[in-house]
Amino acid sequence: MLTCLGFLTCNVNAQLNLALGKRAKQSSNYNSTNGLARLAVDGNTNGNWNGKSVTHTKDGGTLNPWWRVDLDGYSTIKEILIWNRTDCCKKRLDNLVISVYTGQRWERVNKNIHRFSPGIQYPLKFRVNKKANAVKLQLMNSKGILSLAEVQVIGNSIKDIERGLSRTGKTIKKAADAAERETTRGINKGITIVEKGVNTIAPVFAQATPVGTPKNCGGNSVYDIGTGKCWSCPSGYKRTVAAVTGPNACEKPGGERLTKTISGGKGTGLLGTDCRPGYFWDPNGKCYKCPNGYNRTTHPVTSNKACSQKVNSKFIRAKQLGSAGCNRGFYDIGTGKCWTCPSGYKRTTFAVNGSKACEKPKNR
């Protein structure tokens, strides 16, 4: 919010779609020309695949596929709107987790993982009210395809506020010129007018300089920008979007455990279809049962997939391995590089590769 002085009127609170036309990427692509990540920020909410405005990760599915948009600097995000594919495959948004990058970590927006239900209305709306510079959508605990018709990130960007300040500055100058003219007329008429002077010091901006890429953590470890450390998950576990220092930092994905049945011999009785308690009869003339905790599948009763058991995901803490990051300067997640400001300058909230990335503070 921008507060203006007295007679001045400012309007920089308009809610905008901050994601429109911004840089987007996803974990994989359907192919080189179709289903690309940028289609979710093209301003078209058409969810029909033939409309060529729907994203699509690798066909056949991948583990925990994701889509992300960078907002070109920090913005105050009010809410996120999501449009699903409509011609088919609506359940592909099952297990959806929405996160925003606040500068220290990815913070989850939706408390409960999204579940598809018939009759659901689109767009899906998620309240945020956080300052962030990126948004990520990811399917958790599953192997699947992520398809999106459109993603809108509603809020106020720093650049919009800057434009508002520019307009306000012009208004102040116009008012000051009018006051000066009025003062001159008063002097000419012999009237004493006392002016209140306002001493304004304009900020001095400079570009940041790229100084290389961050040090590699090595092995299967990952670098966390919030802690500036390298972390790893145990064998068989993968990194989640939860805080790296929390109990849910690593996940062993759930799934299905399959096994064969236990034979109970031939059926008895007049028709040979009677089985002992706990066993079931099969048309091959024999009785079977699944091990405790397993249920019968549609696979042949003699196969190794005749019985199944649901396996829930397991979560565990990550292990800290040591420091990494930039030898000097600071790390920017959008560019994946290390940057530094000139001596005496400090980093601003503007885009790191822009002309106002660094500011020289002034004594006021």
Q: Which residues of the chain have pLDDT under 50?
A: 1-12, 164-165, 167-169, 172, 176, 179, 183-184, 186-200, 364
- For residue 361, the Cα-to-chain-centroid distance in whole angstroms is 33
Task: Please write the tens of the pLDDT for every residue from 107-162.
Answer: 888 876 667 666 677 788 999 999 999 999 998 867 889 999 999 999 986 555 55
- 123 and 65 belong to one structural domain: yes
Kindly state the tokens that stand for 100: 């925003």
Report pLDDT for 120: 74
- 119 and 22 belong to one structural domain: yes
- 30 and 123 belong to one structural domain: yes
CB 267 within 8 A of CB 337: no
Task: Please write the tens of the pLDDT for every residue from 8-38.
Answer: 334 445 578 999 999 999 999 999 899 999 9
Q: In this structure, is residue 116 part of a structural domain?
A: yes
Does an H or E element contain 295, and which? strand 295-296
- 262 and 347 belong to one structural domain: no
Q: Is the entire prediction scored with pTM above 0.75?
A: no
Side-chain-facing half-sphere of 244: CA atoms under 13 Å: 19
73 contacts: CB under 8 Å, gap ≥ 6: 133, 157, 158, 159, 349, 350, 351, 354
- 145 and 278 belong to one structural domain: no
- 271 and 152 belong to one structural domain: no
- 208 and 100 belong to one structural domain: no
- 357 and 263 belong to one structural domain: no
Only one residue has tokens 């996160």, namely 99
Q: In this structure, is residue 172 part of a structural domain?
A: no
Q: In this structure, is residue 232 part of a structural domain?
A: no
Q: Give burial (CB, 10 Å; 0-12/13-18/19+) of 7.
A: exposed
Q: In this structure, is residue 174 part of a structural domain?
A: no
Work out how many domains the chain is built from and give that number: 3
CATH number at residue 145: 2.60.120.260
Instruction: Report the 10 Å Cβ neighbour count for 195.
Output: 10
Question: For strand 106-108 and strand 96-101, is the pairing parallel, antiparallel, or unpaired?
Answer: antiparallel
- 136 and 208 belong to one structural domain: no
- 148 and 260 belong to one structural domain: no
Q: In this structure, is residue 53 part of a structural domain?
A: yes
- 154 and 63 belong to one structural domain: yes
Q: Which domain holds residue 345?
A: 204-214+326-364
Q: Give burial (CB, 10 Å; 0-12/13-18/19+) of 348.
A: buried
CB 240 within 8 A of CB 140: yes
Using the 8-state DSSP alphabet, how is residue 38 labeled?
G
CA–CA distance, 259 with 123 (Å, rounded to integer): 42
> Order of strands, edge to edge, in the sheet holding 337-340?
209-212, 337-340, 330-332
